[in-house]
Amino acid sequence: MKTKKSKQNSAPKKPKAKKSKNHQSRPKKHYHNVLKSLHQKHQHQKHEKVRELEAIAAELAHENGAEKSRNGSGGKKEVIVKVKEFNFFYNKGKKQALFDINMDIKENTITTFIGPSGCGKSTLLRSINRMNDLVEGSVSSGEILVFDQNIFDYGYDVTELRTDVGMVFQKANPFPISIYENVAYGPRSQGVKKKNVLDQLVQDALEKSALWEEVKDNLYAPALGLSGGQQQRLCIARAIAMHPKILLMDEPTSALDPIATLKVEELVLNLKKDYTIIMVTHSMAQATRISNYTAFFLKGELIEYSSTKRMFTNPKDKRTEDYISGRFNG
């Protein structure tokens, strides 16, 4: 990503702590300017996000919930995530978890990742919003393009990436605050302050997460008092209150009972019109129930990636066939 050099003359600062070896040759001023312009850009984007959220809230108030699809989908779907020759390693390169992954994911679709435990599904999912950056000693090569921009480019703004790419985890993890505050958390942290805007965003997110009817009279009750299924829907509400473009979900129903699972599946299907959803599932039945596309992984490799219907009726690869027919044992 290109970074503009700041025109303003800035006060010299103390040298930063250690820099990684391959960057040592760059002059300090360069770093200073890059950091400064990143900060300015981030502030600008934050304001932009606030404006976007305020506009959405106004639209919602006006249309009384009948939200238009802002992506203008209807025609040909665009590729929103493009994975190119992507390799991923843990433990400073000692453990390779993904091998040469290539895949295109289209907007407003649901894609499921399936495969035996340990085959790299979560690793790939977490790479898409650079959550794996937090794992010490992890290294990757190749590219992941989100909206045509390589998220690993020097200077790429990870904070912005995470406002566009939300995440829901296997275990519901609401904050120990009220239901309302959990959902308002994201917009608030971006700088949305107006109560009516927050109220609108919270209600909309809770409605889309099929939780509103159950909690509307109790919005200020502690989130941790909700049932497991409700907590997971709250986490979905928390993610979508930010109006991300992409929603990553890592086995979001594996800790839920069948009824709570169906509720989450139903709401995920409803979200498809506004979001692109990428979901890891251990359940092939779930993949067939909800997804448009399925990717089958084995030992870090993407073995087959096609429409869900095709994968489950006419798989190309013998290994896929063995796995989906339950004949797989390794």
Q: Which residues of the shown chain bind ligand ADP in the complex (CB under 6 A)? A: 90-91, 95, 97, 115, 117-123, 135
Residue 212 contact among Mg ion, ligand ADP, none, beta carbon within 5 to 8 Å by kind: none
The residue type of 80 is I
Structure tokens at 293: 């596309």
Which of Mg ion, ligand ADP, none does residue 215 bind to, with CB < 5 to 8 Å depending on kind? Answer: none
Taking CB within 5 to 8 Å according to partner kind, which of Mg ion, ligand ADP, none is near residue 225?
none
Which residue stretch of 77-85, 118-126, 271-279, 303-311 sits at the interface with Mg ion (rule: CB under 5 A)? 118-126
Binding site partner of 315, from ligand ADP, Mg ion, none, Cβ cut-off 5-8 A by kind: none
**Within 10 A of 68 (CB to CB), how many other CB atoms are there?**
10
Q: Where are the beta strands (DSSP E) in 91-186?
A: 95-106, 110-114, 139-146, 149-150, 165-168
Nearer to ligand ADP, 6 or 96 (CB): 96
Q: How far is the CB of 280 from ligand ADP (least distance, A)?
A: 6
- Tell the smallest beta-carbon distance from residue 62 to Mg ion (Å): 41
Q: How far is the CB of 59 from ligand ADP (least distance, A)?
A: 37
Residue 186 binds which entry of Mg ion, ligand ADP, none, CB below 5-8 Å type-dependent: none
**CA of residue 157 relative to chain centroid, distance:** 15
Nearer to Mg ion, 108 or 140 (CB): 140
User: In this complex, which beta carbon is closest to ligand ADP, that of residue 98 or of residue 271?
Assistant: 98
Q: How many residues does the chain have?
A: 330
Between CA 226 and CA 102 the distance in angstroms is: 40
Nearest distance, CB of residue 314 and ligand ADP, angstroms: 24
Q: Which does 25 bind (CB under 5 to 8 A by kind): Mg ion, ligand ADP, none?
A: none
> How far apart are CB 196 and ligand ADP at their closest, in Å?
41
Pairing of strands 110-114, 276-280: parallel
Q: Which helix (H) or strand (E) holds 153?
A: none
Residue 284's nearest CA partner among 323, 237, 327 is 323
C-beta neighbour count of 45 within 10 angstroms: 16
Which of 118/228 has CB closer to Mg ion? 118
Question: What φ, ψ does residue 226 adopt, rounded to 5°?
Answer: -80, 160
Nearer to ligand ADP, 127 or 190 (CB): 127
Specify the stretch interacting with Mg ion by CB under 5 A; choose among 37-45, 114-122, 262-270, 318-326: 114-122
Q: How far apart are the first and last CA of the chain?
A: 42
- Contact stretch for Mg ion (CB under 5 A) within 3-11, 41-49, 115-123, 270-278: 115-123
Q: How far is the CB of 138 from ligand ADP (least distance, A)?
A: 7
Longest dimension (CA), the chain: 67
Answer for the pair 16, 31: CB distance below 8 angstroms, yes or no.
yes
Q: Are 255 and 235 in contact (CB under 8 A)?
A: no
Residue closer to ligand ADP (CB basis): 126 or 245 = 126
Task: Determine the 3-state secondary structure of 74 from DSSP.
Answer: coil
C-alpha angle 247-253-254 in degrees, rounded to nearest 5: 125
d(C-alpha 301, C-alpha 253), whole Å: 24
Among candidate residues 31, 9, 12, 29, the one with its CA nearest the CA of residue 20: 31
Give 91 or 141: the residue with its C-beta nearer to ligand ADP.
Answer: 91
Binding string to Mg ion for residues 122 to 141, with x set by CB under 5 A, is what? x-------------------
**Least separation, in Å, of the C-beta of 42 and ligand ADP?**
28
By C-beta, is 57 or 144 nearer to Mg ion? Answer: 144
Which stretches of the chain bind Mg ion, using CB under 5 A? 122
